Amino acid sequence: MASIIAVKKLDKHFKVRKFHRGRFSGFQNFFTREHHLVRAVDGVNFEIQSGELIGYLGPNGAGKSTTLKMLTGLLVPTGGEINVDGFVPSKQRKEYVSRIGAVFGQRSTLWWDLPVFESFELLRHIYKIPEKLFKKNLDEFRELLELDTFINTPVRSLSLGQRMRADICAALLHDPKILFLDEPTIGLDVVAKERIRQFIQHINQDRGTTVILTTHDLSDVEKLCNRILIIDEGKLLYDGQLEQLRQKFGGKRQLVVDFFENYPEATIEGAEIVEINGARITFEFERDSIAASDLIGRLSSKYRIRDLEVKEPEIEETIRRIYEQQLLK
Amino acid sequence: MQNSIKLLNKYISVNLRSQLQYRLTFVFEVFGTILLTLTEFAALALVLLKFENIGGWTVGEVAFLYGTINASFGIMDMFFSGFDPRNFGRHVRMGTFDQLLLRPINITLQVLGLEFQFRRIGRIMIGVGILIYSVQTTSILWTGEKAIVLFFAIIGQIAYFGGLFIFGATITFWTIESIEVVNILTYGGSDLIAYPMNIYPELLRKFFTFILPAIFLNYYPALFILGRPDPFNFPPYAHWLSPFAGMLILFFSLRFWRFGITKYQSTGT
Ligand SMILES: Nc1ncnc2c1ncn2[C@@H]1O[C@H](COP(=O)(O)OP(=O)(O)OP(=O)(O)O)[C@@H](O)[C@H]1O
Ligand SMILES: [Mg+2]
């Protein structure tokens, strides 16, 4: 199957002006124009198939938003190629943007002083959405996103969570094939995040909309995406499944055992004790060196076990280690 | 195109409604501009009455220049506010411009619809008022031709200053510091042509003739309509040139604007 998004050797370099500091700095800044180059996106390649739901991850300043801005046609790449559904996003802008939806989490696309519903009405004209389709979509989204309580409220008076839901709805009214979301859950509480996640999943599964989302919240990715891309300092570091990343870089697994009695010296080959809490002992072991079942076998032959649990390392922890120790480089 | 006009209409009505939501602010601003323009003109008139004329022009004749440019600058400012470099620079920094680029409509039209300023109605009214005062005191002999020249003069002025707004807005893609230079051309230029061009030093006048042809916007149409002789011996059709001067500036500004969009860098986050 041909891919719906193809990105080849994509670069975006920003010239950023250097400002002097200290004495006479105002003077110096006025008379000199020194620049340095920020390689916000640097030689990135990937392909995405129609219907995928992709998580785009990376630490602050990694180049995620810049990539999304190029994919949506807001920025013209410094180098490389982008092809989305047969379009070069920065060319043929009008035709292209009517086929995609985009939400940049920090900003609203809606009219500040207009009630939500009237913003939607305006979008209906802008995208020339047929009346029937508009009604069908709006009815569906109203229910799923629970927009009814604030659909007649001006956008400026909405809470962050409400505004985000209204914005996501607005981005989908014209049935886009591809949806770009830059930090759609930023600043939201757990319930609001969950509602938005479920909605994204629904859109992806039910309508087959291709979704790319960036986030700093790994539970978004864990729940939604089977494929992730990791970018840092403009370079793509990883492209694959979350599970594989976990297996490769996940570090140690933990075995938490509740014994019937206190065994302060319950040592076992292949695992280390990291915590003793009464009759509960936590062991750590390497994924590659021993299987959990072997470990449990060895333990139960020596001690009486009441209950046990194998814990995978937290994905947050894994990703943090990857960023910090630069494991992917 | 028809759809675009319909949309522009919608944008404008949205703007009107938002502006009317802050009704008191709206009223204050309209009266504010009326008061400001009136005071400015009153100060000028007082000086003029003392000297009786300026560059050989009577108060009533200068009022013709003054009224025309104020009315057309007001109209321009109402339609082109979105491109006013001060507004536009803010939209670029706040990322509003990104949002416009995401919509499938002509980008120039959207910027026009961004900030339609009804409150400029105050300046337009005063401009027209001063123009009427001038027409009454100078007892111009109106002909159809003169009316058309005035109409074209106004069209040219709107296009010219709208073009300068677009030029200034485009510059904000690169820098907001150099904006003041463009503002001097826009606001300084509109102030300049509110007076007879023969009062200025030659260098300044030549600049506004051959580099930025503002002399044709207001001065030549006024010479013709008021029936005054041309001190600079331009060809006899010079009073028709206002729309051409305006379109020239607008045309190059739009080209520059198109180019600027391809260089647009968005903002970090
Ligand atoms: N318009 C711009 N002009 C100059 N530099 C920019 C611009 N936009 C982004 N950058 C720089 O490019 C780099 C990548 O920024 P980007 O916004 O893409 O990061 P990000 O991955 O989205 O980060 P975050 O998680 O903080 O949102 C940063 O160093 C940033 O300072
Ligand atoms: Mg970002």
Strand partners, A228: A55, A240
B163 within some domain = yes
Whose tokens are 């030093």? That residue is B201
B262 in contact with chain A, both atoms CB, cutoff 8 A? yes
* Orientation angle between helical segments A315-325 and A242-249, nearest 10 degrees: 70
Please give the mean pLDDT across all residues of chain B.
90
As a whole number of angstroms, the distance between CA B261 and CA B268 comes to: 17
Which residue's CA is the nearest one to ligand 1's atom 4? A14
Which residue's CA is the nearest one to ligand 1's atom 10? B268
ipTM: 0.80
Decide whether any atom of ligand 1 lies within 6 Å of the A63 Cβ. yes
- Name the percent of chain A lying above pLDDT 70: 93
Residue A316 pLDDT > 80:
no
Residue of A245 and A121 predicted with greater confidence: A121
* CA closest to A65 among chain B residues: B269
Residues A310-320 have a mean pLDDT of 75
Decide whether any atom of ligand 1 lies within 6 Å of the B18 Cβ. no
The CA–CA distances, whole Å, from A112 to A167, A193, B4, B22 equal: 12, 23, 22, 13
Domain total for chain B?
A: 1
Residues A294-309 have a mean pLDDT of 88
CB A145 within 8 A of CB A199: yes
pLDDT of residue B269: 56
pLDDT of residue A1: 59
- Which residues have C-beta under 5 Å from ligand 2, the single-atom ion? A 65
Residues B48-63 have a mean pLDDT of 85
A79-88, B167-176, B259-268 — most confident range: A79-88
Burial of B92 (0-12, 13-18, 19+ CB in 10 A): buried
Residue B169 pLDDT > 70:
yes
- Nearest-CA distance from A206 to chain B in Å? 25
For residue B107, the enclosing domain spans 2-263
As a whole number of angstroms, the distance between CA A231 and CA B8 comes to: 41
Task: Render A143-199 in DSSP notation, one character per residue.
Answer: HHHT-GGGTTSBGGG--HHHHHHHHHHHHHTT--SEEEEESTTTT--HHHHHHHHHH
Residue B35's pLDDT band (boundaries 50, 70, 90)? confident
Cβ-Cβ contacts under 8 Å, B8 against chain A: none
pLDDT of residue A124: 93
pLDDT of residue B1: 65
Q: Look at A94 and B95 and tell me if their CB atoms are within 8 Å.
A: no
| Of the candidate ranges A41-45, A61-65, B181-185, the one whose mean pLDDT is the lowest | B181-185
pLDDT of residue A169: 96
Decide whether any atom of ligand 1 lies within 6 Å of the A38 Cβ. yes
Residue A278 pLDDT > 60:
yes
Please give the mean pLDDT across all residues of chain A.
88
pLDDT of residue A136: 96
What number does the ligand 1 atom closest to the CA of A63 have? 18
pLDDT of residue A30: 64
Task: Render A44-78 in DSSP notation, one character per residue.
Answer: EEEEE-TT-EEEEE-STTSSHHHHHHHHTTSS--S
Which residues have a Cβ under 8 Å from the Cβ of A105 and sit 6 or more positions away?
A164, A181, A182, A183, A184, A185, A186
Decide whether any atom of ligand 1 lies within 6 Å of the A79 Cβ. no
Ligand 1 binding pocket mutation candidate from A10, A12, A13, A14 (most atoms within 8 A of CB): A14
Residues A88-110 have a mean pLDDT of 91
pLDDT of residue B229: 93
Residue B230 pLDDT > 70:
yes
Cβ-Cβ contacts under 8 Å, B98 against chain A: 69, 74, 104, 107
As a whole number of angstroms, the distance between CA B56 and CA B44 comes to: 15
B50 within some domain = yes
B137 within some domain = yes
- Nearest-CA distance from B178 to chain A in Å? 11
Decide whether any atom of ligand 1 lies within 6 Å of the B263 Cβ. no
B268 within some domain = no
B85 within some domain = yes
B248 within some domain = yes
Ligand with smallest separation from the Cα of A58: 1
A177 in contact with chain B, both atoms CB, cutoff 8 A? no
Residue B68's pLDDT band (boundaries 50, 70, 90)? very high
* CA closest to B97 among chain A residues: A74
Which residues have a Cβ under 8 Å from the Cβ of A169 and sit 6 or more positions away?
A120, A138, A141, A142, A145, A147
The CA–CA distances, whole Å, from B248 to A74, A131, B155, B212, B252 equal: 29, 42, 12, 10, 6
Residue B26's pLDDT band (boundaries 50, 70, 90)? confident
pLDDT of residue A329: 64
* CA closest to A29 among chain B residues: B177
Residue B256's pLDDT band (boundaries 50, 70, 90)? very high
Residue A190 pLDDT > 70:
yes
Decide whether any atom of ligand 1 lies within 6 Å of the A66 Cβ. yes
* CA closest to B103 among chain A residues: A97
B120 within some domain = yes
Decide whether any atom of ligand 1 lies within 6 Å of the A14 Cβ. yes
Say which DSSP state B215 is in: G
Q: Look at A125 and B10 and tell me if their CB atoms are within 8 Å.
A: yes
Q: What is the pLDDT of residues B75-89, one digit of tens each?
A: 999 999 999 998 899
pLDDT of residue B136: 92
Q: What is the pLDDT of residues B198-217, one digit of tens each?
A: 999 999 999 999 999 999 99
What number does the ligand 1 atom closest to the CA of A64 have? 21
As a whole number of angstroms, the distance between CA A35 and CA B36 comes to: 43
Ligand 1 binding pocket mutation candidate from A64, A213, A235 (most atoms within 8 A of CB): A64
Q: Look at B104 and A69 and tell me if their CB atoms are within 8 Å.
A: no
A113 in contact with chain B, both atoms CB, cutoff 8 A? yes
Residue A327 pLDDT > 70:
no
Q: What is the pLDDT of residues B119-128, one digit of tens each?
A: 788 889 989 9
Decide whether any atom of ligand 1 lies within 6 Å of the A62 Cβ. yes
Encoding tokens for residue B86? 């001060």
pLDDT of residue A27: 66
B269 within some domain = no
Q: Look at A126 and B18 and tell me if their CB atoms are within 8 Å.
A: no
Residue B164 pLDDT > 90:
yes
